[in-house]
Amino acid sequence: MSGRRLRSIVSATTVVVAGSVIAGAEAARRPAKPPKAEVSFVDWLDAQDTQRWSMADGWTNGPPFDNGWAADHVQFSNGLLEILLDDQSTRGEPYTSGEYRTNGFHGYGCFEASFRPIAVPGVVTSLFTYAGPYDNGGNGLHNEIDIEFLGNGFRDDGKTLLQFNFWTNYSGGPTNEIDVLLPFDASADFHRYGFRWTSAGITWFVDGEAVFEVLDDPAAPTPKAADSLQKLMLNAWPVDASASGWAGEFLYPGSPLVAQYEWVRHLAGEGCSLENPPVEPPPPPPPTGVETDLSVADIGLSVVARGAQVVSQVRVTNGLGVGVPGVAVSASWSGAVTSGDRLRETDANGLATFYSSRTKATGEVVFCVDDLALAGFVYRPGANLESCDRVLK
């Protein structure tokens, strides 16, 4: 690994470069047309955003994973995303766990989540970006940037060993594990963990402070967005015997284990900053309680016609939270699409459907509700749960 430049930013950092944990090479397939990089977002993880996220379901990874993936092991409870690990057998594996992954791919920028890992030997809790032979991120090779808590890294003195890693067009050989000693028990409370990925390298952050940096080097390059964009993923899983020397031996404790995530975000672009946490939006206003008040309860966008058109569905309710039929909904389009339906009427369920014009233009499409009108009713925009929505086309 000579020539690789690793720079510690805090003196308390301990660096360990170990051998490969995952044996074998990944064979690349012929890549399809590369995707577009997704835009910035913050997800407060109150519920699944199906446009942005999917849950791993119905398959296994093979060694060193000792589990299968099931969608029902990703749950939302009390404003948190919870990943469950239990002893349910799945597809020949003795355990089942969950993984939450973006549908789209991301380029250079910042990636961060606030979470509490599982402090049990043999369990890995993570935030990472990834693209491989079965992902259309670009070149079809294994590219990855990791933040991983290993179950054997929780020490008796209340400190926690956190591991970073990266893989660049990987097809076998050594990997780049980096161990950082945190001065707290990471499982006791939520903390922020993230990294900034740029063309110059990778910088990892804990609670908004840079703790380690890897500079790109021809002898040991960091991943390049021009080679492959990457999906953002959250998961927790048990290792099998082949990786017990890395993460510890896993012994199921007799009841389900839970990793908890408060929020996750991506800030697109090399100039991003993780110095400050995201600002949580205020809670939505309650219904006004007035039957003749009107507000927007929801806007849902979807891309149809092979990517040429966007459909928007707007739900209008009264002050009691009941859908209202016959409301004239005025709206506007901007971004990659600037024309389409601008006036529609709600149906018997209070739903109005809008269609954009068809175009091959790509980029972010923004749809906003401008006005609601119905005789005898009053539009209360301050009561809207959503006034605009956006989707990547």
pLDDT band at 16 (very low <50, low <70, confident <90, very high): very low
Position with higher pLDDT, 17 vs 351:
351
Question: Picking from 164-168, 174-178, 195-199, which range would have the lowest pLDDT averaged per residue?
Answer: 174-178
Locus of tokens 């054997």: 152
Triad 260, 265, 270: Cα angle to 5°:
140
pLDDT band at 391 (very low <50, low <70, confident <90, very high): confident
Q: What mean pLDDT is reported for the chain?
A: 91
pLDDT at 284: 79
pLDDT at 290: 97
For the cut 60, the answer to whether the pLDDT of residue 54 exceeds it is yes
pLDDT at 392: 79
What would the two tokens of residue 92 be? 């020949």
Residue % of the chain over a pLDDT of 90: 81
What would the two tokens of residue 114 be? 């606030």
CATH architecture under which domain 293-392 falls: Sandwich (2.60)
Q: Which of the following is catalytic: 38, 112, 144, 177?
A: 144
Residue 194, CA distances (Å) to 147, 191, 267 in order = 7, 10, 11
Look at residues 92, 168, 157 and name the one whose alpha carbon lies nearest to residue 130: 168
Question: Picking from 43-47, 48-52, 177-181, which range would have the lowest pLDDT averaged per residue?
Answer: 48-52
Domain ranges of the chain: 5-268, 293-392
Q: Which of the following is catalytic: 38, 112, 148, 213?
A: 148
For the cut 70, the answer to whether the pLDDT of residue 22 exceeds it is no
CATH code for 5-268?
2.60.120.200
Look at residues 160, 196, 164, 163 and name the one whose alpha carbon lies nearest to residue 275: 196
pLDDT at 155: 97
For the cut 60, the answer to whether the pLDDT of residue 6 exceeds it is no
Position with higher pLDDT, 36 vs 245:
245
pLDDT at 18: 37
For the cut 50, the answer to whether the pLDDT of residue 12 exceeds it is no
249 is catalytic: no
Query: Are 128 and 117 a contacting pair, CB within 8 Å?
Result: no
For the cut 60, the answer to whether the pLDDT of residue 307 exceeds it is yes
3-state per-residue secondary structure call for 41-74 = EEECCCCCCCCCEEECCCCECCCCECEEECHHHE
For the cut 50, the answer to whether the pLDDT of residue 25 exceeds it is no
pLDDT at 32: 59
pLDDT tens digit sequence for 233-287:
999 999 999 999 999 999 999 999 999 999 999 999 999 999 999 998 888 788 8
For the cut 70, the answer to whether the pLDDT of residue 30 exceeds it is no
144 is catalytic: yes
Position with higher pLDDT, 282 vs 353:
353
Q: Do domains 5-268 and 293-392 have the same CATH topology?
A: no
